[in-house]
Structure formats: C-alpha cells, structure tokens
Chains A and B, each alone.
Chain A
C-alpha cells in the first residue's frame, strides 16, 4: 500500500458525526487567550511586587487616600501597588465606551471604543487605549504595544512639559511620554497605517494627532480606583498577596467578560505562589477537573474558578475555600478587598 492509497483510506474514514461547536466557544477562547497573556505578564514581572508584598503582608490591601490637590504625578503604578487603578482619563472623544480596564504590576490600561449599529451587529468606529508603565520598564511587553521600546521613537512636542515621542506602530497612532519618575504613559489610537504616526484608518483621520494629544494632556495617573474582585478567601497563615490582576471587557453587544486573579505565598515570587483565578462567562457542560496542575470548577456562581497551589498542593481544597461574592455581569458588585479576616 503506497502513500496515496493510505491517504484515500484515511480520508474515507473522515468523521461523519461531527458535533457543532459549543455556543460561545470562540468567544471563550479569545477571553482565555487574553487572560493567558496577562497571566504571562504577571509572572514575568513578579519581582517588582516585592514592595507590594511588604505593604500588603502587614496591612492587607491598602488603597491610597484620594488627594484632590495632587498635581505632581505619583512615581508609578508599581509604587502604588497592583491593586489601585491609577489611570484617570479626564477626556475622551464623544461616544466613548469603557471596553476594558486592567491593572497589573507592570502595566495598567484603559481601553475605550465607540460602536455603531445594533447590539447584534455592532461595528467599532474607533478605539483609544491609555496605558501606564512603571519606572524601569523600557519595553512595552504587554498592553496595546508589543515589544515597542521606549525612547526610540520620533520626538514630538512635549506633553504637559514631559518629553514625548511617536512610537513605531504599523497599526495606528501611538503617542508616548515620560514622567520625571521614569514612568511612561501611552495613548494608542488603533487603526491601520504603515509608519510611525500613521493616521489612516484610525476613525479620526487627520484629527488623529490632535485627538491623541488632547487625551494625553487630560490623562491623570493619580487615580485611586480600587481593583475589585468577585471572590474572597482567608489566606493561609504567614502568606500574603504577591500579585493581582483584574480585567473587565465589555463587548459591543453588551456582553461582559471578566477575569480576576490573586496570587499569594510566603515569598515574593509569583511562580512560588498559589493562585485563585475567576473568569466569566463560565464554562458550560464540563466537569470539575485537574488539568495542567490546576483545578477547575467550571461554574461557580457564574464564574469559572481555577486554582493552583504552590508545591503541588491540593487545588481542590483551595477552591473549596473560595467564596464567590459578586455576579459576573455586574463588576459593581465585586469587593475591593478579597482577603477575609
């Protein structure tokens, strides 16, 4: 039997009972992919959480008091810890919807979009994302840019007196500026183009540079919005929070996808820590299971719960200790302090 005949034989054996994909399969795949990227970033930047560990280990999750007269940008997202959203966009073009917000140790971001059409058939007219990278981060390893190096772009007029540049972005217009602390902020207007500062296809046309600049001039990084979590738990003795992230995505049709995670341990490194993670929409029709060192609860209170324990501990026991305290469709019901006393 030659190769050709073998191929015929195999092709004759094509499955004829191919079941349809589960509803929401692709959407949950995209959500899982985005979460994976953020988890990777979190792991890669764990060392920066040492200062946070010291604070959180002693006093729990602390949110800085609001300082209304505070004009000088605080040092960084990192110095404030990963549990407070520092970005505060005071101006956005008309029609903006907050599509996504994330707070991580190495980058915080807010993403706004304008949609038209019906909820079932919405189309994105424009997108604007603002990001904040703490001092010491020289490469945008996550967020709207991928591997763009700060300080290597085309110099442009300063933003509120701070040195600014256009970063190469083949797919949009990206204005970045640097705070005295060394933190970098970025405004990215998504679209199509071909070189640094391209404006074609951004939804704003020739107005793109002025829109980006106005967003930049009105961006504050002294916000105090606490991160919220849909779960709570008692930490094991002598353990403290090492890192956390939270993500809420709103699709044009109003669908909310969420992801939140908390890593804790007795040392500073995320990779030596235990993690509780929730995501929504929840998986449907799957059993609770161990997979890849994690324990999965497909649906608890509308969330998929995933746990992993340092040192190959029992993820199921940890999952049993987690209390769901919010609803997946309304992040407003989540709590700012996931640690139970």
Chain B
C-alpha cells in the first residue's frame, strides 16, 4: 500500500468506525465483541483496499466484510470463538424490562446469526430486500423467508412488546 492509499485508508476507518461499530453491536449485542469484529473488518479491508477503493461504495464493501465475518464467526465451533469476558458474568441476568429498548437487543441476540444479520441490515441499516440479498450473497427469497422467520420469533420472544400495526402513525401518539 503506498502512502496515499495508507492515508486514505486511515482517514476512512477514522470516519466510519463509529457507524460500523454500531452495526457490529447490533449483530453481536456486545460492545467488546463489536470492537473485535470491527477491528477484524478493518484488517480485512486493509488487505483488500485496492479493490475496496475501486468499488462502487466502500461503505457497502466494508459492511459486507463485517457481516460475513460475523456469520463466519458464528459458524465456528464454540471452542474457537473469542471469549468476550475475562471471567464469566456471575450475576443472574436481569429479567427483561419490557419498557426498555434493550429488550429488542436481547431478543435479537437470541436469533440465529443469519436471521439476526437480515434484521440488522433491513431494519437498522435500512437496506431493502435486494440490497440485503446482494450483501449476503443469497437470493431475495431467502432474505424474505429469513426476515419472516426472524419477526415471528421476535414476536414470540417479546409477546408484550408494543408492536404496532401497519397503519399506526407514531407521530400522532
């Protein structure tokens, strides 16, 4: 990598670390794991910077790396995963507070990795079905079925969650 590419790369990661970190947090439900995931993403981005810089969107390229790394890590045997805690948490998890936004994070964290990725991309990242399918390298039908299954499971995990109907306008509440 020549000096200019190096500067471009460093400038890029400085500018995008916050956004990618939030995406990583949505996927992993842990800031420590998110930081590791983003770092792995940036390392991989560095290795492919020439290609990334020539891509239509570096952001899309980075996000693809991030999601693929997340899915790849989720598929690894349990004993090869990075431990996020120096020692296991010794307190019992607090019961879910239905009024808290953390409920949703906790519930999303219980979904299968693929379903989680689809939800995060579609509803947090704002990608449409086609964009999500392109990023994940799967068909639009798969994205739709994964979304549907994920939402069904969320409904079961959050039975009392204030899920509004499609015709409810929150701005009037």
A residues within 8 Å of B by Cβ?
Answer: 1-3, 5-16, 18-19, 21-22, 25-26, 28-30, 32-34, 36-37, 40, 124, 127, 144-147, 169, 171-172, 188, 190-192, 286-287, 289-293
Lowest 8 CB-CB distances: which A-B pairs, in order? Answer: A33-B46, A190-B3, A13-B101, A287-B86, A13-B104, A171-B4, A10-B123, A291-B82
Partner of A19, one of B31, B44, B85, B168: B31
B153 at the interface (CB under 8 A from A): no
Chain B residues, CB < 8 A from A37: 1, 46-47
- Are the C-beta atoms of B25 and A15 separated by less than 8 Å? yes
Q: Which of these, A3, A11, A191, contacts B3 with CB under 8 Å?
A: A191
Assembled-state Cα–Cα distance A146/B6 (Å): 12
Cα distance A30–B47 in the bound complex, in angstroms: 11
Q: In the complex, are the beta carbons of A36 and B126 less than 8 A apart?
A: no
Does the CB pair B35–A40 fall under 8 Å?
A: no
Partner of A172, one of B2, B119, B126: B2
Other than the given A1-B165, A171-B2, A287-B86, 12 more pairs (CB < 8 A) read A3-B122, A3-B123, A10-B123, A13-B105, A26-B13, A26-B17, A30-B46, A32-B39, A33-B43, A127-B3, A287-B87, A291-B80
Q: Contact at B43–A146, with CB atoms within 8 Å?
A: no
Q: How far is the CA of A291 from the CA of B122 in the complex (A)?
A: 29
Contact of A6 among B2, B9, B151 (CB under 8 A): B151
Closest to A16 in B: B101
Kindly state the separation between the CA atoms of A12 and B103 in the bound complex, as whole angstroms: 11
Asked if residues B105 and A188 are in contact (CB atoms below 8 Å), the reply is no
13 contacts across the A-B interface (CB closer than 8 A): A5-B165, A5-B170, A8-B170, A10-B119, A13-B101, A15-B22, A21-B21, A29-B13, A36-B44, A37-B47, A144-B1, A144-B2, A147-B50
What is the bound-complex CA distance between A28 and B50, given in angstroms? 21
Known contacts A13-B101, A287-B83; decide if A6 and B123 are in contact (CB<8 Å): yes
How far, in angstroms, from A29 to B24 measured CA to CA in the complex? Answer: 16
- List, in ascending order, chain A residues with CB within 8 A of B83's CB: 287, 289
Interface of A is mostly: mixed
Across the interface, do A10 and B39 meet the contact criterion of CB distance under 8 Å? no
With both chains docked as a complex, state the minimum distance between the C-beta of B109 and any C-beta of chain A, in angstroms.
Answer: 12
Taken together as a complex, chains A and B put the C-alpha atoms of A25 and B21 apart, in Å, by 12
Taking CB atoms, residues of chain B closer than 8 Å to A124 are 3
Instruction: Give the residue name and chain of the B residue nearest to A30 (CB).
Output: B10
Instruction: State whether the Cβ of B5 lies closer than 8 Å to any Cβ in chain A.
Output: yes
User: A30: which B residues are within 8 A, CB to CB?
Assistant: 9-10, 13, 42, 46
Interface residue B92 (Cβ < 8 Å from any Cβ of A): no
* In the complex with contacts A3-B122, A29-B13, A169-B47 CB distance below 8 A: no
Assess the B79–A290 pair: CB atoms within 8 A.
yes
The answer to whether the Cβ of B93 comes within 8 Å of any Cβ in the partner chain is no
Q: Indicate whether B164 reaches chain A with its CB closer than 8 angstroms.
A: yes
State how many angstroms separate the Cβ of B24 from the closest Cβ of chain A: 11
A208 to chain B, nearest CB (A): 14
**Per-residue interface assignment for chain B, residues 73 to 104, with 1 indicating a CB less than 8 Å from any chain A CB and 0 otherwise:** 00010011111011100000000000001111
- Check B21–A5 contact: CB distance below 8 A: no
Chain B residue with Cβ nearest A190: B3
B35 touches A21 (CB 8 A): yes
Rounded to whole angstroms, the CA-CA distance of A209 and B86 in the bound complex is 55
Are B35 and A25 in contact (CB-based, < 8 A)? Answer: yes
- B102-113 CB contact bits vs A (8 Å, 1 = yes)? 111100000000
